[in-house]
Every structure is written in C-alpha cells, then in structure tokens.
Amino acid sequence: TQLESELHYALEHGEFELYYQPIIALSTNQLSGFEALIRWKNPKRGFISPIEFIPLAEDTGLIVAVGDWVMKEACHQLQDWMRQFPEAAHLKMSINLASHQIREPDLLDKLDSILAQTGIDGSSIRLEITESTLMDQGEQTIKKLSQLRARNIQLSIDDFGQGYSSLSYLHRFPINILKIDRAFVNQMSDGGENIEIVRTITVLAHTLNMSVVAEGVETQQQAEILKQLGCEFGQGYLFSRPLTAADAELAIAKSI
C-alpha cells in the first residue's frame, strides 16, 4: 500500500522521532526514567500517530526495522544523557517491543551490539511487552525472556489488565515490572471497584516480586491513592506528557 511504502521511506529519511515520557517514583516524586514513544512527522501528511502506523508496521513485518531503529535511538539517547549527567546513572529507558520483535532470531544479537556500542548496562533498559504478546507465545518466549534477563535487561508487562492473562501462568515469565493499564487508573476515582482492582493487581505483582508502574495518572488524587496502595511508579499527564529529547534533557537536569 501507499502508507507501507511511505513507512519504508520514512525510515530511510529520518522522519521518525522519539518522544520520552517521564516515569516517576511515587514515594519521592523523583524521575526514575522514561518510556520512549515513537512519532512520525511526515512532510505531506503531517503528524501520524503510532496508533495508526504501528499496527500496519506489525502486519507488514516492517515493525522489526522500525523497532530496531527505536532500540538504537533510545539507547544512544540514554548514553548521551548518562555522559552529560553522571548523577542520572539510575535512569531507566523503557522501550516498547512488538511481538514480531520477540520472535525474531536476531533480537539478542542486536541488543548485544547496541549495549556494546553504547556501553550501557543491560539493567538500564526495560523492554515493554504487552500482556497479549506474552500470552500468545509459549516456551520459546520464556526462553527468549530468560536470555534477556541474563543480560540484566529488565522486562515489563505493558497494558496489564487489558488482555486475558492467565494468572496461573504469570509466575512462569521472568518479568520485573507490571504496568497497570490506564483504563483502571483513570476510573479509580469514580468509585471503590477499580481501586480494589488496582490494589489486587499490586498485591499480585508484589507476590511475584514485580514492581508496579501505573499508567495514565492524570490527577493528584489518583497519585495519592496509588501511593497508598503501594504502587511504586507512575506515568501520566499529571507528571508530564511525552517530551521531545530536548525537553526530556531539561527534565533530567532539573531532577538532579
């Protein structure tokens, strides 16, 4: 299709850009890291949301090339920030990984070469994998995830609660972080029910030795409730929208 060939063109001509959304430690209000979020600025069409082109990139397999670019760009950016700000060595860079990318045989080699090139420690990056990707795939995925963990790379389940996680299965995945889907967080203040769901997810995560990131935190009240529930991290418009690299850099400078 037209859009498909434009995606190819976009990759080769630098039309993609990463934005960085802060992730905040709720107990201290400190910056703990960023989630890298891709943006496409097309000279003709203008801004195209990832909601439109990521599914297409997944269907056509182009997601692997796009994902490779994202991993490289995000890691080089983190390397640059760590050089500029030695006090920011604790910051984590979260990178979304599509299901194609996990199945891809070269993923580990690519990550190894990015880590070697940038000198970043594996523990500084977090790969976000959606719940449905995780549940779709069997033993091969568990093996791949273990190989990532062997490099100290952290693993997050993204959009948790949206899919159909088999809870009995969850403990078999070597996951460090659980990101609670923003649907639960948004509706938390409406009444008790979603608060109880978030509480239960948090207890579940902690039982499995995972930390919790709440997505879509938009109000101070939500942040307070989340903190009380023992949720460690928050991400959302209350703290910050996704930022350009330049603005993210200012946020780091301010935080240290």
Give the binding site for ligand G (CB under 6 A): 21, 37-38, 49-51, 54, 67, 70, 96, 98, 158-159, 182, 215-218, 235-237, 242
Map residues 145-174 to x or -, x wherever contact with Mn ion holds by CB under 5 A.
Answer: -------------x----------------
Residue 133 structure tokens: 């990707």
Return the number of the residue (6 or 215) whose C-beta is nearest Na ion: 215
49 binds, among ligand G, Na ion, Mn ion, none (CB under 5 to 8 A by kind): ligand G
Nearer to Na ion, 104 or 158 (CB): 158
Write out the DSSP string of 8-66: HHHHHTT-EEEEEEEEEETTTTEEEEEEEEEEEEETTTEEE-HHHHHHHHHHHSTHHHH
CA dihedral 211, 231, 191, 187 (to 10 degrees): -60
As a whole number of angstroms, the distance between CA 20 and CA 35 comes to 5
Which 185-224 residues touch Na ion, going by CB under 5 A? 215
Q: How far is the CB of 179 from ligand G (least distance, A)?
A: 7
User: Taking CB under 5 A as the rule, does residue 159 contact Na ion?
Assistant: yes
CB-based contacts of 140: which residues, under 8 Å, 6+ apart?
103
Closer residue to Mn ion, CB minimum distance, 6 or 128 = 128
Minimum CB distance to ligand G, residue 86 (Å): 27
Q: Which of residues 114-133 bind Mn ion (CB under 5 A)?
A: 128
Tokens matching residue 212: 């919790």
